[in-house]
Homo-oligomer: A and B are copies of this chain.
């Protein structure tokens, strides 16, 4: 594999060696940690991504490439069948991208992508330190989004900055993308594709530290709005119908669908005991302890295998909810409504010979010394948008723990290592020439 991909036909005598590249990237460590801390200190939850993009704008510039904005266009997104539905205003949201221009021709172009948005901190009071105040403890840097995936964005920037310090340029354009809304719709990455250039491949620096992610599930967010019959709690059993109780009924029905979907696990998901996860992630219901709850909304996340469409999965969710409702006279008359807002996306699986995966594995092998396996993930990533448009996309990035959890953390050493792997991969995939 190293013969085929390790020394591409485009590299001449000026091409830096692995040792030169890894040293040049290692020299960026202090800068990388500083950027990461500033990124983590920006609480870039949905609707508040901009402070993080301000950091990324400067970061691309500090890496030597000129940033530009790709603003989200609601109409264009909604017109694209690969978008996810959204009920909020996106007009003030931008992706911050930058193109490291080719210094020669003949190479393979590349997109290096990461997302700046993070999920909320789940339960701030359970954290050992405030989730949006970066905290170092040895090799770990703690903070919401530190691993998912601000350290990945920094690894991309560190790779480019390190390579540029060697006075080289790629032999095809390398597009750097800091996108929004990966955690809810993926519409940020999609907008980059609608507005900007394509490429021969894409690598997303999601926290896949010791393997290359080449397959992922699809994900559907389904919000179930349940209406009850409010009444004074004193006559709850006689006159009321409690929407909070009904939510538990709906959850049970969807758990049955989940079990059904896990009963037969097609490859590459047959190695997982439970690849399809249903998650009731948010619930809000009722407005007074002594009033029978008039309404309850549960926001579910449900995965699906590649080949299963979001529309098919939505139909199964709706059928499960309807079947549960049919068993209850009140719900039969007042059926819960299933609403879609956020993720509605398909999965994919690349083959084992996919050139970008093979080349990236080769770079990893040269830097780390071991051959990384190609693995599937039971999550979604923005990779689907690239794959859907014919741009093979995989993930490799720093080591993170407790993503979406409490005390999320990322390994600083792994961030540097990921940057080194990405830098060697850029050399291998794009080719390098003296700048």
Contacts and interface: CB of A to CB of B under 8 A. Distances in A.
A238 B405 CA distance: 13
A377 interface: yes
A274 interface: yes
Contacts of A402: 231
Given A123-B295, A277-B235, A230 B283 contact: no
A299 interface: yes
A292 interface: yes
B230 A288 contact: no
A290 interface: yes
Contact of A237 (B122, B277, B294): B277
A284 B281 contact: no
B183 A404 contact: no
* Chain A contact surface mostly: mixed
Interface centre among A223, A232, A251 (most CB of B within 10 A): A232
Contacts of A301: 233, 289-290
Contacts of A282: 244, 285-289, 293
A238 B271 CA distance: 14
B231 A404 contact: yes
A13 B231 CA distance: 48
Given A242-B280, A405-B229, A288 B234 contact: no
A298 interface: yes
A309 interface: no
Nearest to A291: B404
Contacts of A244: 251, 280-283, 298
Interface string A398-410: 0000111110000
A413 to B, nearest CB: 22
Contacts of A300: 289
Contacts of A242: 279-280
Contact of A281 (B274, B288, B377): B288
Interface string A246-286: 01100100000000000000000000011001111111111
Contacts of A122: 230, 287-288, 291, 294-295
B378 A230 contact: no
Interface in A339-370: 342-343
A139 interface: no
Nearest to A121: B287
A404 B230 contact: yes
Interface string A146-173: 0010000000000000000000000000
Contacts of A343: 289-290
Contact of A293 (B233, B281, B403): B281
Contact of A227 (B126, B286, B294, B378): B126
A236 interface: yes
A425 interface: no
Contacts of A287: 119-122, 281-282
Given A286-B281, A287-B282, A342-B289, A403 B232 contact: yes
A296 B284 CA distance: 10
A424 interface: no
A293 B280 contact: yes
Interface of A: 119-123, 126, 148, 183-184, 217, 219, 221, 223, 227, 229-240, 242, 244-245, 247-248, 251, 273-274, 277-296, 298-301, 303, 342-343, 377-379, 402-406
12 contacts: A120-B288, A122-B291, A123-B230, A148-B232, A183-B290, A229-B405, A234-B377, A236-B278, A237-B277, A244-B298, A282-B288, A292-B404
Given A242-B279, A281-B291, A290-B343, 17 more contacts: A122-B287, A122-B294, A183-B290, A230-B404, A233-B279, A233-B303, A234-B277, A234-B377, A235-B277, A236-B277, A237-B273, A240-B279, A244-B298, A281-B287, A284-B285, A286-B299, A290-B301
Which 6 pairs show the lowest CB-CB distances between chains A and B? A234-B379, A233-B279, A123-B294, A281-B289, A122-B294, A122-B230
